Amino acid sequence: MKREAIQTIIQAGLAVLCLALATGCGRVSDERREARNRHLRRAEAAKEAQDIERAIALCEQALERRPGLALAHRELGLLLDNYRQDYVPAV
């Protein structure tokens, strides 16, 4: 009886270990995947170069191509709010 209990505990431990390892190997997060978008990368470079109008235009291009990009919506909103003080479109 003791041997069966030990085997059950070992098997349960291995199952937990496999689950822990499997959850650690997840997919790339949505934000990281969106950040690879070329328009968003160019918009970030333009923002760093203080070319805000170009950054806004590139965010808008990214949204024209893929309207579901949350990162592009956020960046565009922040650019419009912080640099243009154009609050209604920023929201």
Q: Where are the domains of the chain?
A: 2-90
pLDDT of 11 reads 81
Residue whose token pair is 């760093």: 48
- Residues sharing a CB contact under 8 Å with residue 89, sequence separation 6 or more, in sequence order: 80
pLDDT tens-digit map of 77-91 = 999 898 888 778 777
Q: pLDDT class for 6, splitting at 50, 70, 90?
A: confident
- What pTM value is reported for the model? 0.64
pLDDT tens-digit map of 17-68 = 766 666 655 555 766 777 778 888 999 999 999 999 999 999 999 999 989 8
Report how far Cα 4 is from the mean position of its chain's Cα atoms.
47
pLDDT of 68 reads 87
